Amino acid sequence: MRHVVFGTAGHIDHGKTTLIKALTGTDCDRLPEERERGITIDLGFAQLTEGDLQLHFVDVPGHERLVHTMIAGAAGIDRALLVVAADEGVMPQTREHLEIIRLMGVAGIVVAVTKADAVDDELRALVVEEVREELADTPYASSPILTVSATTLDGLPELRRRLLDEAVSAMPHPIEGRPFREVVDRVFAMAGAGTVVTGTSLWGSVAVGDEIAVYPRGDVARIRRLHVHGVERQRVEAGERVAVNLVGVDRETLDRGDQLVTPGPWRTTALATVRLELLPSAPQPLDEGDEVEVHALARRVPARVERLGTRPLPPGQTATAQLKLREPLLLFPGDRLVLRRPSPVNTFAGGLVLDAQLPRWRRRESGGLNDLPGVQRPAWPELLMSWVERAGLVAPSADELAGRLGVLGEAVQAPLGRLLAAGSITALPTRPPRVVATTGLEELTAAARRELERRLASELVSAGIPARDFAAALLPRAAQPLADQYLEELRRRGVLDLAEGRVVPPGESAHMTERGAELTRAVEGTYREAGLAPPSPAEVAQRLAANPAAVEGVCRFLVQRGHLVRLEGKLLVHAAALDEIARQLRSHPKDTLTVGEFKDQFGLTRKLAIPVLEWLDSQRVTVRQGDARRIVRR
């Protein structure tokens, strides 16, 4: 069954509620004070079914002090029923409601000139003409205008037919690729049932027994029962007026404007980037620092204009802005906002959410806000690409991108696939896969070449740069967890090689110049010949008439390569000499040796004997037992 939500609009006492009752048989004034005073105070609901088409009506109050309630009721409506009384004509709230439904992106309206029995033909015609003039400069210029009487029922069949025709032309609500999302406009408790919320389902579908997250807090509840206009259902879909019986949340924690969403990677925001349209009737321009009231779906939140792409923004113009919200909201690209001034109260602008996770722009860059990509489905590849580029080497996952867009994970696979096929992005081999802009990888590649050259430029020899240190010099802190993936990508591109956790030039196991190779052979030969009477690096430099710093560098290299061993952090001994001691010990006839016996056995000074024994302990050749060493037999 197709579901289309109509919201009423119009000035107070123009007969909206009476007309809905005549159409559907349902009195939307459910509160005692509403029936007593004859005016609508809160939202009312009704439905009309014709074949496989179901119209859901949200009846809103027309009083100027209740415009915030009217906007809450307009959240998620597909079409509007604009009501104008024939005995009064177009009034202030008629105009404001008309502006609100346009700002909220309502695609079509039907106009009912009510109380037609209260005036003569000439006055009815004048009111119809007045309405036509009011609609002339709006998207609703060609909308049908019908004269009706809820008292005599004249014109009611034709109005019903026009409403059904308008409903047929409404676009189906998105279900595939979207989570379930419902905006809460009523919260109450029922005896024996517990917490119940009602609202218009915007996206997706949900079933009894499913878990549901309640935003902005993020609490998770379970769905016990579902109703659509009093009829119990096992599953509901987008576009329906749904009552949800929740288990796991208290009535006191819920409020109008909360959202029920399928659990997922959704994040609330306190900074919304929006495309603003300032109404021609706005009393003054808009500028950064202005305080406004943001109506987002059924929630209203104080906010400040943080950034503005065109400042000041004159009435009748559009620009991109960033709004700093006083409370966190769950918003997604494509959501509609209405902006009102807190004092004097008036509706002056509307907004389309472009991004709910974009960081705060620097003021000098605010003009670039006007160049942000669109949010409609055909623009998703461009939008996703802009997010990937802005994330840089942090490389978002497909799930993170889907969460930012407000879709299920599979919905971004096709646009990301097109970007991958075009070579615009590259997938990193992580779980889950992360994507990075190819241009970002090219910049990383160039930076890695420069960094490797800089680090090794003054080195005759080097075992390489510790991989983590090298990555830390190239990657922002937030991208450090991806260091291994980026180093592997740089290796694949021929920028470097990886040897024992160190970065080395491509195709090499170490860095070595021709002069460095010559000096390395000479230094190692000196230590090999010295055996257990090793010289210091300064003495080696003197013997070889070499630069002491260069010899120090060669010694570090030989230690890193395992050819020299550094004892007690300062004594250098060739590994072959130590290996020979270890070999002789393993074939020694005694099982234990004192320090003195060990020193005499190998002709060592006490200064060298103790460090050698400690090295043997570290290699598990010997084990210290008091003042002696036990030889470990293998």
CATH number of 269-371: 2.40.30.10
**pLDDT (mean) for 486-500:** 93
Closest CA to 523 of 569, 474, 461: 461
Q: Over the stretch 399-439, which tens digit does the pLDDT of each residue have?
A: 999 999 999 999 999 999 999 999 999 999 898 899 999 99
- Whether 181-261 shares its CATH topology with 269-371 is answered yes
Please tell me the class of the 181-261 domain: mainly beta
In the structure, what pLDDT confidence band is assigned to residue 29 with cuts at 50, 70 and 90? Answer: low
The type of residue at 79 is R
**pLDDT (mean) for 161-173:** 88
Please tell me the predicted confidence (pLDDT) of residue 354.
96
**pLDDT (mean) for 184-196:** 85
Residue 32 scores a pLDDT above 70: no
**pLDDT (mean) for 172-176:** 76
- The answer to whether 388 and 396 have CB atoms below 8 angstroms apart is yes
Please tell me the predicted confidence (pLDDT) of residue 345.
74
Helix, strand, coil in percent for the chain, rounding step 5: 35, 30, 35
Q: What are the domain boundaries of the chain?
A: 2-169, 181-261, 269-371, 373-512, 514-631
Residue 35 scores a pLDDT above 70: no
Please tell me the predicted confidence (pLDDT) of residue 43.
64
> In CATH, which superfamily holds the domain spanning 2-169?
P-loop containing nucleotide triphosphate hydrolases (3.40.50.300)
Q: Over the stretch 248-301, which tens digit does the pLDDT of each residue have?
A: 998 899 998 999 999 999 999 999 999 999 999 899 999 999 999 999 988 999
Active site residues: 13, 16-17, 63
CATH number of 514-631: 1.10.10.10
Those residues with Cβ within 8 angstroms of residue 299's Cβ, 6 or more apart along the chain or in another chain = 72, 256, 257, 258, 329
Residue 269 Cα distances to 215, 221, 258, 437, 530, angstroms? 11, 22, 14, 25, 69
Q: Over the stretch 151-163, which tens digit does the pLDDT of each residue have?
A: 999 999 999 999 9
Q: State the chain's mean pLDDT as an integer.
A: 89
Residue 362 scores a pLDDT above 60: yes
Residue 594 tokens read as 């004192």
Please tell me the predicted confidence (pLDDT) of residue 37.
40
Please tell me the predicted confidence (pLDDT) of residue 31.
40
Q: Is the dihedral of CA 574, 578, 579, 581 positive or negative?
A: positive
Percent of the chain with pLDDT over 90: 56
Residue 34 scores a pLDDT above 50: no
Closest CA to 95 of 144, 134, 132: 134
Q: Please provide the distance, in angstroms rounded to a whole number, between the alpha carbons at the two ends of the chain.
A: 81
Q: Over the stretch 526-576, which tens digit does the pLDDT of each residue have?
A: 999 999 989 999 998 899 888 888 888 888 888 888 899 999 878 999 999
**pLDDT (mean) for 38-56:** 71
Task: Specify the range with the lowest mean pLDDT, choosing from 187-196, 310-319, 607-616.
Answer: 187-196
Please tell me the predicted confidence (pLDDT) of residue 169.
87
Please tell me the predicted confidence (pLDDT) of residue 28.
62
Please tell me the predicted confidence (pLDDT) of residue 73.
61
Residue 10 scores a pLDDT above 60: yes
